[in-house]
């Protein structure tokens, strides 16, 4: 009897100890899960804290749709670092000036200002990514005064009527008793595109500030003021600019008409994001997070063009038809393709700065990351 009681007590004791151990194990497991959760939370907070704020300079116009849409859709709010946008006026030249002045960390701009920056600052400039590569987005418009004997002939690529275009420019200059004044912003991507077009048509021109007997004289006018300047009919006779300014002029100036665009000579424009080597070294993680948000933006635009057009039209204060014209010639992507690299190389050569594609790629530290990680 005693033996049975003793055996029962031992069993009870063992069971009690087992339950206690199981309870302890259960408690240890819960504690471990809580610890892991806290650790993950701490890691997340640490990652968030490691991001540094990013300021981006851009223009609220065609060519910068990726930034406009990303902002309106909230992609920047969720990307990690604090992203602030700094809107400039004029052209991408002003965006680069904001970067170099320390007002922004990343400049959104076209290849013309990028080439100028590379020429002036060398390897201190870092090219982060291309966002769009297009042709037909740089357009030349004649004012309402260019009629009668001063009527200009538009270039027709299928007819290849270069001789007729040249003759009309020379006749117009003679009718005016001087030179044709062409408004274009100096340093903008449009400048090199328009000069290339004039050379292709064999039309002589005086550069900015230069005197001479050339058929055309270039006049430096900020891009956003070109339509109103052309409308005045006194300071310039024709204008060259990127969209939406040409469409604005055509819509607002009665009697104005299109002369040509950069697709006439297969000239491409690439929109870029650039920074400085110093900023890149300090903010690489934030820059990558920003570019991931940019990727979401272009993916959204490519999948939902009608919605993206509406967003951009409301932001830019223009008609949806004007934005659609820019979308129709756009190729939105966050990348640095060979075509983008080669377009930048050509832009540099036009600025009398020789650089090879391989040399330029050395100033593109994210080129492999873009291809193998962001766009995988």
User: Are residue 273 and residue 361 in the same domain, yes or no?
Assistant: yes
Mean pLDDT of the chain: 89
Instruction: Give the residue from 371, 356, 287 showing the smallest Cα distance to 118.
Output: 356
* pTM score of the predicted model: 0.76
Query: What is residue 90's predicted lDDT score, i.e. its pLDDT?
Result: 87
How far is Cα 106 from Cα 273, in angstroms, rounded to an integer?
A: 6
Which pLDDT value is given to residue 251? Answer: 92
Same domain, 242 and 331: no
**What pLDDT does 373 receive?**
96
Q: Is residue 19 part of a domain?
A: no
For residue 152, is it within any domain?
yes
Does residue 27 form part of some domain? Answer: no
How many domains is the chain partitioned into structurally? Answer: 2
Predicted local distance difference test score (pLDDT) of residue 49? 54
DSSP state letters, 283-298: HHHHHHHHHHHHHHHH
Tell me, yes or no, whether 240 and 350 share the same domain. Answer: no
pLDDT digits (tens, 9 = 90+) for 167-217: 999 999 999 999 999 999 998 889 999 999 999 999 999 999 998 999 999
**The domain boundary residue, chosen from 224, 243, 265:** 265
Same domain, 111 and 161: no
pLDDT at residue 46, rounded to an integer: 45
Region 219-245 average pLDDT: 94
Q: Is residue 39 part of a domain?
A: no
User: What confidence tier does 102 reach under pLDDT thresholds 50, 70, 90?
Assistant: very high
pLDDT-derived band at 44 (thresholds 50, 70, 90) equals very low
With a pLDDT cut of 90, the percent of the chain lying above it is 79
> What average pLDDT does this structure show over 244-264?
95
Residue 241: domain span: 138-265
pLDDT tens by residue, 230-242: 999 999 999 999 8
- For 211, counting Cβ atoms within 10 Å of its Cβ (0-12 exposed, 13-18 middle, 19+ buried), the class is exposed
Asked if residue 329 is part of any domain, the answer here is yes
> Encoding tokens for residue 259?
């002369």
Same domain as 261, residue 145: yes
């Amino acid at each position: 009897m005693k033996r049975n009681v003793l055996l029962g007590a031992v069993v009870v004791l063992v069971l009690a100890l087992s339950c206690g151990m199981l309870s302890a194990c259960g408690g240890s497991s819960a504690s471990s899960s809580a610890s892991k959760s806290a650790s993950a939370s701490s890691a997340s907070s640490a990652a968030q804290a490691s991001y540094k704020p990013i300021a981006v300079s851009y223009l609220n116009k065609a060519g910068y749709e990726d930034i406009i849409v990303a902002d309106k859709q909230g992609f920047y709010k969720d990307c990690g670092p604090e992203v602030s946008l700094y809107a400039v006026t004029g052209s991408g030249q002003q965006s680069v000036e904001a970067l170099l002045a320390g007002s922004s960390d990343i400049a959104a701009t076209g290849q013309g200002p990028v080439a100028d920056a590379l020429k002036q600052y060398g390897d201190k400039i870092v090219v982060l990514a291309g966002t769009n590569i297009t042709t037909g987005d740089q357009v030349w418009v004649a004012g309402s005064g260019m009629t009668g004997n001063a009527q200009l002939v538009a270039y027709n690529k299928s007819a290849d009527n270069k001789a007729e275009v040249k003759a009309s420019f020379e006749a117009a200059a003679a009718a005016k008793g001087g030179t044709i004044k062409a408004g274009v912003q100096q340093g903008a991507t449009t400048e090199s595109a328009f000069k290339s077009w004039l050379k292709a048509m064999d039309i002589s021109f005086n550069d900015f500030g230069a005197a001479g007997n050339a058929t055309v004289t270039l006049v430096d006018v900020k891009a956003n003021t070109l339509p109103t300047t052309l409308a005045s009919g006194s300071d310039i006779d024709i204008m060259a600019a990127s969209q939406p300014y040409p469409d604005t002029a055509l819509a607002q100036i009665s009697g104005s008409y299109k002369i040509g665009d950069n697709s006439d000579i297969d000239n491409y424009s690439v929109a870029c994001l650039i920074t400085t080597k110093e900023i890149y070294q300090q903010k690489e993680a934030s820059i990558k997070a920003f570019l991931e948000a940019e990727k979401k933006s272009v993916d959204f635009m490519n999948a939902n063009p009608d919605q993206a057009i509406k967003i951009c039209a409301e932001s830019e204060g223009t008609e949806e038809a004007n934005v659609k014209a820019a979308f129709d010639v756009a190729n939105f992507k966050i990348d640095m393709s060979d075509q983008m690299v080669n377009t930048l190389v050509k832009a540099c050569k036009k600025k009398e700065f020789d650089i090879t594609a391989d040399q330029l790629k050395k100033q593109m530290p994210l080129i492999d990351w873009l291809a193998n990680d962001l766009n995988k």
